[in-house]
A and B are shown apart, each in its own frame.
Chain A
Amino acid sequence: GAVVSQHPSRVICKSGTSVKIECRSLDFQATTMFWYRQFPKQSLMLMATSNEGSKATYEQGVEKDKFLINHASLTLSTLTVTSAHPEDSSFYICSARDAVVRGGLPDTQYFGPGTRLTVL
C-alpha cells in the first residue's frame, strides 16, 4: 500500500515551453502533497506544499508564477513548470501525506519515483 506515482518519469523540452508533472496517490487519499527538487549530489529541497482545494504554499525563493501547483482532488496534484529554462533542469519529486494515520510515524510522507526534467 501507500504508492505514489509520477508522470512522466522523464521529459525533455525546449527552452520556453511549459511542462506539467502529475503526482498521484494510488491507494490512499492525500490531503497534502509536497513538491521537491533535487539537483545532482544535493539534498531534496522543498518547493511547495499543496493542499487539496486551496492554494499552494511556496517556500522562500520559489517563484509561484513559474511553478504552478494544482491540487484538484485528494489523489492528484500537478506541477507545471512554465517557460522552462535550462537552469530548471532537475529531478522533481512529489510526496503525499496519508490523510489516515495507519500506525507508525504520524503524517508519513510517501514519495513518488521522481521526474527528471531536461530543458534544452
Chain B
Amino acid sequence: QKEVEQDPGPLSVPEGAIVSLNCTYSNSAFQYFMWYRQYSRKGPELLMYTYSSGNKEDGRFTAQVDKSSKYISLFIRDSQPSDSATYLCAMTYGNNRLAFGKGNQVVVIP
C-alpha cells in the first residue's frame, strides 16, 4: 500500500518542544484522514480524525489536512514524555478500509 507515504525516521525532541509529523498521499478517493498512536507491542489507538481541508484541534494536538496538496500533518504542542510512541497516519477508502503510513517513532526526552 504505497499510496500513503510517511517518512519512518525516528524523531527525538526535548520535553516541551513541538512535534511535527506529516504524510502525503496519492489517492484522491481517500475520505477520512486519521492519526493513530501506537505504544510498543500494542495496537493502535485513534488520536484524531478529519474529513475536510483545514485544521482541527484537540488539546495539545492539531491535525491539518491540505487536500489540494494531498498532505496531512499532526502537531503536538508542549510535548511530554508520555507522548513517546509511534504515530501512524491512516486514510479510509472503499468500504471504510484503512491505509496506513509506516509510522514515526517519537521520543520525548525529559
User: Which A positions have Cβ atoms within 8 angstroms of B?
Assistant: 4, 6, 34, 41-46, 49, 91, 93, 95, 97, 104-109, 111-114, 116
Contact = CB atoms under 8 A, between A and B. Distances in A.
B49 A43 contact: no
Which of B44, B49, B103 neighbours the largest number of chain A CB atoms within 10 Å of its CB? B44
B95 A114 contact: no
Q: Is the interface of A mostly helix, strand, loop or mixed?
A: strand
Nearest to A104: B49
B60 interface: no
B98 A46 contact: yes
Contacts, number: 57
Contacts of A93: 43-44
A99 B30 CA distance: 22
A95 B45 CA distance: 10
A81 to B, nearest CB: 18
Interface string B77-110: 0000000000010000001111111110000000
A115 B103 CA distance: 19
A45 B4 CA distance: 12
Interface residues of B, number: 24
Contact of B102 (A34, A42, A113): A42
Given A41-B8, A105-B49, A109-B98, A46 B1 contact: yes
B21 to A, nearest CB: 14
B24 to A, nearest CB: 14
Contacts of A111: 36, 43-45
B12 to A, nearest CB: 16
Contacts of A42: 102
